[in-house]
Amino acid sequence: MLQSFRHHINMANEKILSYNDVILLQSDLTILKNPCFLNDRIIEFYFTHLSSLHSQQILFLPPSITFWITNCPDTDTLSDFLQPLNLPSKQLIFFPVNNNDDVAVAEGGTHWSLLVFFQTKNLFVHHDSFHGLNNHHAKRLYKRVVSYATGDLDDTETRYMEYARTPQQVNGFDCGLYVLAIAKEICRWFDGDGNKNEDDLWFLFVKERVTSTSVSGMRMEILELIRSLREKK
């Protein structure tokens, strides 16, 4: 029985794809094939994929970096880390937000949401698919990163908003998929010059395209993407 358990663990940890700096494991496929909470690797993988499709004016920060920004106790270290990213040069920045408060717990937390910075409007928007559960964590992240995103250490003009009409999940495990689906549609809005309304931002675009049906279909979309990339190796 012990040998069987070890075999199962080894199978789960088997590497299935190396994509830029992201390594996906067999266990990630299991998460995608079942009604499970997405982990950091899957979110970083899909963000990396979106980055390859869209404008260089868009920056996707991986969950580990966002978590570190939120919880780094040393502001000098934070400054040294963020300055090379040149955040003010980006028009859109995506921050995946997790409600893990314990820096000692890897891949902790129970909920994902999305914080977006739009440079043109000097605006941070928080999209939460579960009744604002991560509002506190998103606001804390905003306060840590705002001066680095704008390039103004004395920034007083940048606004922060909780978008109350963010599409809402209908179960307890699809929050990560909502983060990815909303990010995907905001990118489409940003790159679609003919359809872009900067006064109303991307809100109508997201409302019309991010539905419970489209979100649930993203598991198959990501699995198909992984299969396609593996075939090219």
Catalytic entry in 28, 126, 174, 175 = 175
DSSP code at position 66:
H
What element of type H or E holds 96? strand 92-98
Asked if 175 is an active-site residue, the reply is yes
Say if residues 44 and 66 touch (Cβ distance below 8 Å): no
Catalytic entry in 40, 126, 127, 128 = 128
User: E strands within the chain?
Assistant: 15-19, 22-25, 58-60, 92-98, 112-118, 123-127, 159-162
Type of residue at 176:
G
Report the DSSP pairing between strands 123-127 and 112-118.
antiparallel
Write out the two tokens for 144: 């840590």
Catalytic entry in 28, 40, 49, 111 = 111
Q: Name the residue among 121, 109, 115 with its Cα closest to residue 145.
A: 115
Asked if 111 is an active-site residue, the reply is yes
**Residue environment code for 152-161, b if the CB has 16+ CB neighbours within 10 A, otherwise e:** eeeeeebeee
CB atoms under 10 Å from CB of 7, counted, come to 10
Catalytic amino acids? Answer: 111, 128, 175
